[in-house]
Structure 1
Amino acid sequence: MSAISTDPYSSIGLSPPPKEESSRKGSLGQSDFLKLMTTQLMNQDPMAPMENGEFLGQMAQFSTVSGIQSLQASFEKLATALQTNRVLEASTMVGKKVLVEADRAELGSDGAGLKGVVEVPEGVSTVQLTLRDAQGAVARQLTLDVGGAGPMDFSWDGLLQDGTAAPAGSYTVSAMALVNGQNTQLTTRLALPVVSASIADDGVVLNTSKGSVRLADVTRIFT
């Protein structure tokens, strides 16, 4: 008479899985689950064996838990990668210029002048651009011919009204136009250098000396 094996794996033609250390005390791994499952099958009541549905249900529960754990680990890796990418984005923007809704900018001594955008409403044919120095004196006036409604680029070459170079410093930009017969001030956005960048919950925020803007809202970058 042949001896009956007490090893549940041998009795069903399987080799026992290699022993593994639990990463956390009291946690069950896949091998622990299979050992419990096969032990349950070996010791079930022959007159009332486990239904296939019960067996499959327990397997499905284990697969679901295992899948959720793997998904959580994947999300943690993705979150780390995204955070690293946001830090890199922020660091590469310092020193570049971006459009920020503002009416004041610093004119440097490099002769680069100032650039910006004015929002032109419907029915406007010309825009009067006035640049004033820190004392409020008019440095330059420019008349812009409008091609249609919407954002319109403008630039100041850094020259005064008499053609000489304007001194470096802070200048205010104002844009006026006749809208429905009334002289109206228009919204301007200026190209300002990014002095620092910070990371918020909703993305990278670029900080300039005159205001801040989210990287996701930047419409143009000047190198």
Structure 2
Amino acid sequence: MTQPQTVRIDVISDVVCPWCFLGQKRLDRAIALADGIEVDVRWRPYQLDPTIPAEGLERKAYMLAKFGSADRLKQAHDTLVGSGQAEGIPFAFDAITVAPNTLDAHRVIRWAGSAGPEIQNRLARRLFELYFQEGRNVGDPTELIAAARDAGMDAAVVETLLPTDADRDAVTEEIATASRMGVRGVPCFILENKYAVMGAQDPQTLADAIRQVAAEKG
């Protein structure tokens, strides 16, 4: 019997990027469309704004400064809410009070990868849900430890490591590497370390890319 091809996809994303949440949902649908192909998904760090302080910022003021006006911000949110409905994401932007620094979230995602791709995928999904659906502060160590537990990680290890500098340099270097590769926005899907698909593309586009790479490997 012919063994199914396995395609590795590294997803470069930030947990506070709404398009990355959409991209995660669309990737799930793409994997289902690419029937018969095994897909190994790994999550890689990116920070939309690394200058946010560790304690975070008040989100409404931060977003108004970023978009320039309440009308422009509302238009952006309305577009995302519509896209989210199509993917089963009930975006709750009004519930979000903190714009967090996401470095610690990426450290935990990195540690989840050591526990296996399934746990890492569960954690990435949980962090998106916490921030965009429940309005939780994903820069808060308490929230990160709880999310790690929900994903099946050893929460005690995460609780021990978070207050230290463990893997801070490794995560910031990964982010720098993505920038050197030309990544200027997320999500970015890297297939087999060779091909990049930029943005939250529709599931069919992602599925076609997966099939093409699998055929080349075959």
Normalised-by-shorter TM-score class: under 0.3
Q: TM-score, normalised by structure 2?
A: 0.22
Higher percent of residues as helix: 2
Q: TM-score, normalised by structure 1?
A: 0.22
Q: Which has the larger radius of gyration?
A: 1
- Structure of greater relative contact order (alpha carbons < 8 Å, 6+ residues apart): 2
